[in-house]
Amino acid sequence: MKTTKLIVAFAASFLAAACSTTGGPRANESIEIAETKSAYRVSVPVSQLSLTLPRGNWSRKDKSALGGGTANPRYFYFEDAKEESLILSGWFEPDRLFSGSASKQWEKDAAGLKKASLPQPMNVSFEKIGGWDTVLYDQVFSGAMSSHMRAHWVQAGTWIDIHLSTTTDSSSAENRKKLRSVLRGISVAEKGSGCPNGRCSAVPGANPDRAVALNGL
């Protein structure tokens, strides 16, 4: 299973590489992760958005040594301490880099997976989960079922892209149920708005300059 996990981690890093931007980061363009007893709060200073991940069994890991997209200063990566194959990664980017929908973005990602000579995705489906636009798919690694979810949130000039995956001996249906549950526990809010998982761009007092700054990356 550890070998399979490494392969899945490589697949995640390859997808990150396909979507990462180039150029040296400024200090206000790098990911910031604040820890509390109950949650991780993830954001980039120039973004208006903040993502909150319930702490649970998640542990932050540094995967920049893998290179490619994992070296993106806005990339983040977590592993579940009790379920080693459950991985959550992603990044904050300007919304101009998003293709417009999960289905359009998937066309690019699927082409990248094919070039990487990884097992071809199966059972591809698209779902709206709360404010997230998602694509789910499966791959088989050494006989184990590896189920994946790419979830996209676009708001206030920012695109948040999350990649959730789990590789088990369970069925695709069971794996996907778990990934949906994880995603539903994640909240997104505009900073200072008090509107988790809400489209709060029009809230009085919101700072449009931060959205403009991120769009300028």
- Comparing CA positions, the residue from 13, 22, 3, 20 lying closest to residue 113 is 13
pLDDT tens sequence across 80-116: 999 878 999 999 999 999 999 999 999 988 888 888 7
| 113 alpha-carbon distance from chain centroid | 16
Residue 115: Cβ within 10 Å count: 10
Is the pLDDT score of 201 beyond 50? Answer: no
pLDDT tens sequence across 179-190: 999 999 999 999
- Rounded CA-CA distance 129/139 in Å is 22
Mean pLDDT over residues 6-32, rounded?
57
> Which residue has tokens 């070998």?
3
- 114 — phi, psi (to 5°)? -65, -40
How many H-runs (helices) and E-runs (strands) does the chain carry?
A: 4, 11
- Look at strands 122-129 and 132-141 and give their pairing: antiparallel
pLDDT of the residue at 207? 42
- Comparing CA positions, the residue from 165, 149, 23 lying closest to residue 87 is 165
H or E element, residue 2? helix 2-19
pLDDT of the residue at 67? 56
Model's pTM, two decimal places?
0.81
Is the pLDDT score of 178 beyond 70? Answer: yes
CATH 3.40.1000.10 fits 2-215, yes or no: yes
Highest average pLDDT, of 89-98, 187-196, 206-215, comes from 89-98
pLDDT of the residue at 23? 43
pLDDT of the residue at 6? 55
Is the pLDDT score of 171 beyond 50? Answer: yes
Percent with pLDDT over 90 in the chain = 58
Token pair in block for residue 70: 């994992």
Is the pLDDT score of 26 beyond 90? Answer: no
The sign of the CA dihedral 183, 208, 76, 22 is positive
Query: How far, CA to CA in Å, does 162 sit from each of 82, 89, 208?
Result: 20, 6, 24
Is the pLDDT score of 205 beyond 70? Answer: no
pLDDT of the residue at 50? 97
